[in-house]
């Protein structure tokens, strides 16, 4: 199946599919064959219920992509059950999209990478751009024959833990905080409308504040790879650096991880999914408030 983008700003980048590409394959999306599966990933599944891309199944980020008690990733067994229920195998081509500028779709992309799925792509522009460009939607919920899904890994090279961040404070590692400046400086504990919070505000010492939205154009699609490369280069983040990205709960940082790892081909990028909820609640953790001093 040809997945090469056909009209993207990021021509030649095979981690993205364009709306035109997907619209031309809706018949294949709706087929019961596991070859191609489209997944909408939302924090609020009411969006999906109001209307979604024909053939797309829905995954609820809050209920299905994190452990309700441990606030951890789904286990390999739970992840296999979730995907298999939707008729997906480890050989399926998976296209992801969702709300909030693809935050949650990017997080599932990252989890799929962690569990070794090879053929996974983001729909450039996500749900918002698809609807605003007046492409087809439906309220019909598809049902596919359940399949056996066998995850690989986990491949820990894409994930950072608390101890990795602690080590990074004394090693040549670039930390990127993708949250809003108010969160980064400690003026906000949570972004507007969100509930999960930490005891303290601020950021990890040495972290560079490059807000997730800097990766996107005004229409929600990704900026060109040339523009993105220049953005990170001017901030002192280079392709051969060891990079850890984080936000509040790991989903916004997944979008920046996707840009650096998948669009710009950085060699070592890890998503710290414990994120500020973990770090801001740690007793004795080093925290900086206000702007980070720069040389």
Instruction: Look at residues 119, 74, 117 and name the one whose alpha carbon lies nearest to residue 273.
Output: 74
Catalytic residue among 247, 269, 275, 277: 247
State the DSSP code for 100.
G
DSSP single-letter state for residue 259: I
SS (H, E, C) 17-42: ECHHHHHCCHHHHHCCCCCEEEEEEE
Please confirm, yes or no, whether 247 is among the known catalytic residues. Answer: yes
- Give the CA count within 13 Å in the CB-facing half-sphere of 6: 10
- Residue 123 β-bridge partners: 17
Per-residue CA distances from 108 to 58, 73, 205 (Å): 12, 10, 28
121: helix, coil or strand?
Answer: strand
H helices of the chain, where? 19-23, 26-30, 46-50, 61-64, 76-85, 103-114, 126-132, 162-168, 181-184, 225-234, 252-258, 275-279
Q: Using CB atoms within 10 A of its CB, is residue 43 exposed (0-12), middle (13-18) or buried (19+)?
A: middle
Active site residues: 247
């Amino acid at each position: 199946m040809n997945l090469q983008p056909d009209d993207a700003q990021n021509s030649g980048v095979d981690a993205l599919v364009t709306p035109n590409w997907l619209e031309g394959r809706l018949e294949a999306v709706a087929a019961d064959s596991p070859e191609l599966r489209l997944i909408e990933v939302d924090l609020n599944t009411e969006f999906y219920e109001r209307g979604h891309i024909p053939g797309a199944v829905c995954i609820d980020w809050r209920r299905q992509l994190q452990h309700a008690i441990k606030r951890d990733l789904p286990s390999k067994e739970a992840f296999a059950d979730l995907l298999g229920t939707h008729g997906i195998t480890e050989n399926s081509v998976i296209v992801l999209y969702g709300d909030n500028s693809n935050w949650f779709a990017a997080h599932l992309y990252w989890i799929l990478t962690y569990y070794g799925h090879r053929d996974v792509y983001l729909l450039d522009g996500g749900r918002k751009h698809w609807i605003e460009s007046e492409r087809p939607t439906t309220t019909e919920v598809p049902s596919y024959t359940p399949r056996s899904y066998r995850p690989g890994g986990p491949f820990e090279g894409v994930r950072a833990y608390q101890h990795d961040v602690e080590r990074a404070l004394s090693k040549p590692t670039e930390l990127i905080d993708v949250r809003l400046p108010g969160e980064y400086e400690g003026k906000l504990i949570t972004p507007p409308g969100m509930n999960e919070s930490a005891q303290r505000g601020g950021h990890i010492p040495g972290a560079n504040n490059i807000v997730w939205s800097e990766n996107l154009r005004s229409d929600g699609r990704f900026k060109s790879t040339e523009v993105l490369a220049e953005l990170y280069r001017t901030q002192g983040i280079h392709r051969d650096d060891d990079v850890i990205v984080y936000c509040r709960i790991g989903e916004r940082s997944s979008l920046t991880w996707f840009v650096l790892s998948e669009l710009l081909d950085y060699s070592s990028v890890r998503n710290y999914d414990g994120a500020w909820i973990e770090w801001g609640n740690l007793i004795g953790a080093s925290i900086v408030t206000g702007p980070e001093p720069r040389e």
